[in-house]
Structure 1
Amino acid sequence: MKETEHGFDVTLYRKKVRKHTTNAVLYGTDPTTCPVHALRAYLTALTDADRTDGPLFVRVDRWDRIAPPFTRAGRPIGDPSGRMTAETAAEVIEHLAESAGLTGAWPGHSLRRGFATAARAAGHDLLEIARTGGWADGSRVLARYLDDVDRVKNSPLVGIGL
């Protein structure tokens, strides 16, 4: 991860495509929801907890302490570096949505799909959406997510004065 003039460049490993990609975390228009401000605050909290290297998203116990590695029958389980699992990240998202009073289901995957839908509705290029979201070029799954957006946007009924 590297701070830049546009925010941060973050390198992620994409398991499905088996490669590392660099994604930009950009400044938001509202300081209260700005991803760069949130990431800086999170990094400060990690530093205050003496965590200055290792994975960015780590397990935290119910007392907001960085959780130690897990063991079962004296043997380490899970990621030894304390990395948060995808399942735990999904639970955090659901909990935060509930705490914010949002209705509906909020599985972790809904953010990824929602990003793709919102980006396409805003007119962004399909290839860039795929690469930013970690889908393989030409992904059929991504295409299915975007069918509804494109069905309305590309309809021959748009712009004919009905």
Structure 2
Amino acid sequence: MVSLDITDLQRAEHGLDTSVYRRKIKAHTDNAILYGTDPATYPVRAVLGYVDALAAAGRTDGPLFVRIDRHGHLAAPLTRHGRVIGDPAGRMTPEAAGDVVARLADRAGLDGQWSGHSLRRGFATAARRAGHDKIRTARVGGWSDNSTALDGYMEDADRITDSPLINIGL
């Protein structure tokens, strides 16, 4: 996600469209960000609100996910010995995105260990629990069709609801 630029988002009837390069499968995948049903987690509203906040701060192009300081301001470029280091446009690193996920999960009172990868794992698990097809989930999430990692997430989702111990007379 941190590789996205603001201009990569295209408004569409269903919400937003974007294309993301997936290093593991070495290909771009077209992705739809759909309108949600829960106002607390409505993804299109959240993304557009964030884009509006970036525009209000004077940023209408460049990286979508940027470094923000502890005061909520766009962070200045990082320097070492007077030379700019990192992304001069302020693009957030994958590690920083993971730190944000962990901090927000902690702030929300969620148990467990959280990271940027939790977003992928949570998507796969929620999709499976909702009854969505494994292949379709793999393609939307950027896994290969025969991903063993995705199989593990599916196993976690099925452990209780699809247990062979259900309805066998115990």
- TM-score normalised by length of structure 2: 0.84
C-alpha deviation, 1:153, in angstroms: 5.2
* Whole-Å separation in 1 of the counterparts to 2:32 and 2:124: 16
* Whole-Å separation in 2 of the counterparts to 1:32 and 1:14: 28
Greater relative contact order: 1 or 2 (C-alpha under 8 angstroms, separation 6 or more)? 2
Q: Which of 75, 80, 85 matches 1:67? A: 75
Identity of paired residues, percent?
Answer: 59
* Whole-Å separation in 2 of the counterparts to 1:145 and 1:156: 18
Q: Which amino acid aligns with 1:17?
A: I
* Whole-Å separation in 2 of the counterparts to 1:149 and 1:96: 23
Question: Displaced runs of 4+ in structure 1, greater than 6 A?
Answer: none
- Gapped runs of 5+ residues in structure 2? 1-8
Question: Are residue 128 (structure 1) and residue 136 (structure 2) matched?
Answer: yes
Larger displacement relative to structure 2 (71-80 or 121-130): 71-80
Equivalence map 1:1-162=2 (5 Å): 1-150=9-158, 152=160, 155-158=163-166
C-alpha deviation, 1:151, in angstroms: 5.1
User: 1:30 is paired with a residue of what secondary structure?
Assistant: coil
- Gapped runs of 5+ residues in structure 1? none
* Whole-Å separation in 1 of the counterparts to 2:164 and 2:44: 40
Cα RMSD, aligned residues only: 1.9
- TM-score normalised by length of structure 1: 0.88
* Whole-Å separation in 1 of the counterparts to 2:87 and 2:144: 26
User: 2:75 is paired with a residue of what secondary structure?
Assistant: coil
